[in-house]
C-alpha cells in the first residue's frame, strides 16, 4: 500500500484514525495493539507472505533482546547480528551473488528470490533495538507486541526514516497524543504528498524518458535527465519522509528529521549530514564509531571510512552500481578530509558538491555499470550526438516551469517566506497554500496509476 494511493488516503488512514481516537476505548494497550494490527495489515497488503518473515524476525529480536539485557554478552549481540544479516543476505543479495558466480563459472543460478519490500529498513531497526540494549541506551520491551509495534509501525515501515529504538522507546508505552500534534502531523503529511505527487512523479517522467532513450543523446539532454533524476529522488524520498514523520506525529510519535535541504550543502561531507540522516547516523553510531572512528591511526581510519561507505553502497541494493556509488563517496570524502575542503563554504565549493552529487546519482540510477559509464561519457561529450538537439529544447519548452518550481522547492526559500509571514501575523497564507497543495495532490492521485516510492526497493 502506498501513501499516495486512493486506498490509503480515503480508506485505510481515515479508518485507522477513527478507531485509534475512538471515545470509548482509550487505553494505551488498546492503541498499541490496534496500531500493530493495522501496521501488519498495511505490510501484508503488498507482502502477504513476507509479513510472516517479519513477524519471525520480530520474535527473534524480542528474545535476543531480553537475553542481552540479562547477560549483556557479546555472544548474544553477535547471534542477533548474524541472524539479521543472514536473513538480509538471503533475500536481498543471494540471487545476485549466485548470478555473479554463474557468470564466472558458466552455470545458471537456480535461485530467484523476490525482495521483501523495505527489508533493509526494518532489519536495521531491529539491529538498532539490539545495539541500544547492549550499549545500555534503552531497556527492552517486556511485551513482544511492543517490539512488533516498534518494528512494523506503518508510517516508517517501508522506506524509513530508520527510527532508532532509543529515540522512541519511551513513546511506545507512554506517549501523549495531542490535537496540536494531530494537526501538525497532517500538515507535514500534505507537504510530503505534494512533493511526491506534484513534483517527483512529474520530473520522473523526464528522467525515465531520457535515461531510457535508445537513440544518440546530446550533452544538454543527458544533463537535463541527470538534473531531473537528482530532483526526482530528493522529492520522492524526502516526500516519503515528510509523510512518515507527519503520520507518526498524528499518533503521538516524534521521529527525527531525515533531510535538511541537502542540495545547498557546501561539501559532500555536509551533503551527507543533510541527506538520509537516519541512515548516515546509523552507520556512524553502530559501525564507524565502534570500529574506532577517526581516533585511530590514519591507515585504520581510512579503512573504517572505506568499510562504512562500502556497506552504505551495498545496503542500497544488489548491483555493482551501488557498490561503485558507495566507493565514489568514500574517495570524495577521503579527499575532502585530507585536503580540508570540507570546511570551505564558497559558491565554488557548493557548485563542486552539486556536480559530484549529480554524477553520483547517474551511477545510482543506471541499470548497470556499462550504461552508467556511457551516460556519464555523454554528459562530457563522449559518444554524444552534439551539444544540444531538438529533443532537449522540446523537453525544456514543456517542463521549465516545473523544473524551476522543483529547484526552488529544494532550497529553504519557501520555508523562510512562510516563517517571515508568521512573524507578521500572516501565517494563514501557509494554511491556504496547504489546502491548495492537498486539493491538487488529491486530484492528481485520483487520476494517476500506481507510483511506488524509489526507496521501496531498498
Selection from 372, 364, 369 nearest residue 458 by Cα: 364
- Tell me the CB-side half-sphere exposure of residue 85, using CA atoms within 13 A: 8
Can 254 be counted among the known catalytic residues? no
- Please state, as a whole number, how many other Cβ atoms lie within 10 Å of the Cβ of residue 265: 21
Each as own residue / partner, the long-range contacts of residues 410-415 (CB below 8 Å, 24 or more positions apart, any chain) are 410/231, 410/234, 410/235, 410/261, 410/263, 410/264, 411/261, 411/263, 411/264, 412/261, 412/264
Query: What is the Cα gyration radius of the chain?
Result: 23
Q: Please tell me which residue in 84, 266, 276, 316 is annotated as part of the active site.
A: 316
Distances from the Cα of 363 to the Cα of 3, 93, 118, 257, 357, angstroms: 28, 19, 22, 26, 10
Distances from the Cα of 454 to the Cα of 175, 195, 207, 383, angstroms: 31, 13, 13, 29
Query: Whole-angstrom Cα distance, residue 432 to residue 264?
Result: 27
- Tell me the CB-side half-sphere exposure of residue 67, using CA atoms within 13 A: 14
Q: How buried is 295 (Cβ within 10 angstroms: 0-12 exposed, 13-18 middle, 19+ buried)?
A: exposed
Query: Whole-angstrom Cα distance, residue 337 to residue 430?
Result: 41
With cell 518473515, the residue in question is 53
Q: Is the peptide bond before 161 cis (omega within 30 degrees of 0)?
A: yes
280 CB contacts (<8 Å, ≥6 apart)?
272, 273, 312
353 CB contacts (<8 Å, ≥6 apart)?
265, 266, 267, 268, 270, 271
Selection from 204, 262, 212, 199 nearest residue 228 by Cα: 204
Q: Which residues are catalytic?
A: 316
Amino acid at each position: 500500500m502506498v501513501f499516495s494511493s486512493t486506498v490509503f488516503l480515503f480508506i485505510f488512514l481515515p479508518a485507522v484514525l477513527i478507531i485509534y481516537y475512538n471515545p470509548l476505548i482509550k487505553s494505551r494497550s488498546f492503541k498499541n495493539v490496534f496500531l500493530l494490527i493495522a501496521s501488519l495489515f498495511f505490510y501484508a497488503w503488498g507482502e502477504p507472505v513476507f509479513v510472516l518473515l517479519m513477524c519471525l524476525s520480530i520474535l527473534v529480536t524480542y528474545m535476543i533482546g531480553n537475553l542481552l539485557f540479562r547477560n549483556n554478552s557479546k555472544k548474544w549481540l553477535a547471534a542477533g547480528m548474524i541472524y539479521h544479516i543472514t536473513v538480509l543476505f538471503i533475500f536481498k543479495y543471494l540471487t545476485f551473488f549466485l548470478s555473479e558466480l554463474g557468470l564466472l563459472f558458466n552455470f545458471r543460478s537456480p535461485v530467484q528470490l523476490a525482495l521483501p519490500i523495505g527489508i533493509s529498513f526494518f532489519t536495521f531497526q531491529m539491529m538498532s533495538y539490539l545495539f541500544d540494549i547492549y550499549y545500555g541506551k534503552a531497556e527492552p520491551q517486556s511485551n513482544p507486541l511492543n517490539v512488533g509495534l516498534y518494528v512494523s509501525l506503518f508510517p516508517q515501515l517501508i522506506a524509513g526514516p530508520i527510527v532508532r529504538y532509543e529515540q522512541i522507546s519511551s513513546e511506545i508505552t507512554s506517549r501523549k497524543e495531542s490535537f496540536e500534534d494531530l494537526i501538525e502531523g497532517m500538515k507535514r503529511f500534505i507537504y510530503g504528498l505534494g512533493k511526491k505527487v506534484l513534483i517527483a512523479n512529474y520530473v520522473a517522467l523526464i528522467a525515465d524518458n531520457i535515461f531510457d532513450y535508445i537513440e544518440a543523446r546530446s550533452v544538454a539532454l543527458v544533463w537535463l535527465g541527470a538534473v531531473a533524476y537528482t530532483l526526482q529522488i530528493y522529492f520522492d524520498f524526502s516526500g516519503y519522509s515528510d509523510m512518515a514523520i507527519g503520520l507518526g506525529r498524528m499518533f503521538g510519535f516524534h521521529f527525527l528529521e531525515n533531510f535538511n535541504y541537502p542540495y545547498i550543502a557546501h561539501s559532500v561531507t555536509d551533503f551527507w549530514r543533510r541527506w538520509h540522516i537516519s541512515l548516515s547516523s546509523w552507520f556512524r553510531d553502530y559501525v564507524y564509531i565502534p570500529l574506532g572512528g577517526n581516533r585511530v591511526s590514519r591507515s585504520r581510519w581510512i579503512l573504517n571510512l572505506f568499510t562504512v561507505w562500502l556497506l552504505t553502497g551495498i545496503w542500497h541494493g544488489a548491483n555493482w552500481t551501488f557498490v561503485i556509488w558507495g566507493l565514489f563517496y568514500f574517495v570524495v570524502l577521503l579527499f575532502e578530509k585530507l585536503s580540508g575542503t570540507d570546511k570551505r563554504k564558497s559558491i565554488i565549493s557548493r557548485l563542486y558538491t552539486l556536480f559530484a552529487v549529480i554524477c553520483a546519482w547517474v551511477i545510482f540510477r543506471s541499470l548497470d555499470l556499462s550504461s552508467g559509464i556511457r551516460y556519464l561519457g555523454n554528459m562530457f561529450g563522449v559518444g554524444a550526438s552534439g551539444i544540444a538537439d531538438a529533443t532537449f529544447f522540446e523537453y525544456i519548452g514543456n517542463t521549465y516551469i516545473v523544473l524551476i518550481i522543483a529547484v526552488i522547492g529544494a532550497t529553504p526559500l519557501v520555508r523562510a517566506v512562510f516563517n517571515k509571514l508568521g512573524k507578521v501575523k500572516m501565517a494563514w497564507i501557509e494554511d491556504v497554500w496547504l489546502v491548495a497543495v492537498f486539493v491538487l495532490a488529491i486530484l492528481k492521485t485520483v487520476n494517476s496509476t500506481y507510483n511506488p516510492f524509489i526507496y521501496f526497493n531498498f
